[in-house]
Amino acid sequence: MTDQTTHFGFREVPTDEKAKLVRSVFDSVAGKYDLMNDLMSLGIHRLWKRIAVQLSYVRHGEKVLDLAGGTGDMTVLFRERVGDKGWVVLSDINAEMLSRGRDRLIDQGVVEGIDYAQIDAEKLPFPDNFFDCVCVAFGLRNVTHKGDALKSMHRALKPGGRVIILEFSEAQGALFKRAYDLYSFKLLPLMGQLIANDADSYRYLAESIRMHPNQEKLKTMMADAGFERCDYFNLTQGVVAIHRGYKV
Ligand SMILES: C[S@@+](CC[C@H](N)C(=O)[O-])C[C@H]1O[C@@H](n2cnc3c(N)ncnc32)[C@H](O)[C@@H]1O
């Protein structure tokens, strides 16, 4: 990799093309995104998301940014916690994902106390010291300049605010890893083809997970971006990790 190139899954691509490639993945999968999440994880992603929200310590009345929020799972959970006096912004760079999320929330009757923003995680258009919590669930992996995104999140948080990053990470244990690789590289693209008519996007999913910084590397990147008391929690043997950091 050079300054001019980056990875898109296992491919090396010009840095300024990655966002476009990521967009085409989510344009393609948006319609089947929620169904595929349930099938791929056997519904376990719902539990991971609940645990991440619990670890955020978000309280009644707080302001939360759900970054790369897609179809809004995290927003619904945060909205329950912040109550009537709180506020949640569901944001995503992709208009298709965001519009699916908005329709879904409206259908569920989740309307008050939520706003929507089509924004890039690397350049948050919010004032300094604004949110009590910024959360990014399964989104950071897709961002081209992760360090810039982390710095932008830090800037937009109030002192005392928390960042929560729920993301695929490095699975633990040789035997488990072998089974997980088999599942990721053989079964996932097949499911993607059968259900979403798109094997490539699910191949990208498996590859992008392997290219994402592991638990310790991401923790270091968070500290480099200015976060303090950074820690992480492995779930499902490290298939996903929840990283948490504070702005002091
Ligand atoms: C796997 S989905 C996660 C959606 C949701 N957070 C969830 O957990 O179900 C990843 C999302 O990241 C968004 N995304 C990718 N790059 C982004 C960026 N630079 N800024 C904001 N969102 C981005 C995609 O459009 C997509 O909706």
Euclidean distance between CA atoms 236 and 43, whole angstroms: 13
Mutational test site, ligand 1, from 71, 102, 142, 212, max ligand atoms within 8 Å of CB: 142
11: pLDDT confidence band, cut at 50, 70 and 90? very high
pLDDT in tens, 123-150: 999 999 999 999 999 999 999 999 999 9
What is each CA distance from 205 to 4, 14, 209, 214, in whole angstroms?
23, 19, 6, 15
pLDDT in tens, 144-195: 999 999 999 999 999 999 999 999 999 999 999 999 999 999 999 999 999 9
Alpha carbon of 166 to ligand 1 centroid (Å) = 12
Q: In the sheet that 157-168 helps form, which strands lie side by side, from edge to edge? A: 114-118, 87-92, 63-67, 131-137, 157-168, 240-246, 228-235
pLDDT for the residue numbered 242: 98
Alpha carbon of 225 to ligand 1 centroid (Å) = 20
Euclidean distance between CA atoms 88 and 76, whole angstroms: 9
pLDDT for the residue numbered 3: 76
Region of residue 158 (phi > 0: left; psi between -120 and 50: alpha; otherwise: beta): beta
Residue nearest to atom 1 of ligand 1 (CA): 138
Q: What percent of the chain has pLDDT over 90?
A: 99
pLDDT for the residue numbered 193: 95
Q: With a threshold of 0.85, does the pTM exceed it?
A: yes
DSSP 93: S
By DSSP bridging, strand 63-67 and strand 87-92 are: parallel
Which atom of ligand 1 is found nearest the CA of 122? 19
Q: Can you list the domains of the chain with their CATH numbers?
A: 47-171+217-246 (3.40.50.150)
**Residue 118: CB atoms within 10 Å:** 12
Rg, Å, the chain Cα set: 17
pLDDT for the residue numbered 72: 98
CB 62 within 8 Å of CB 82? yes
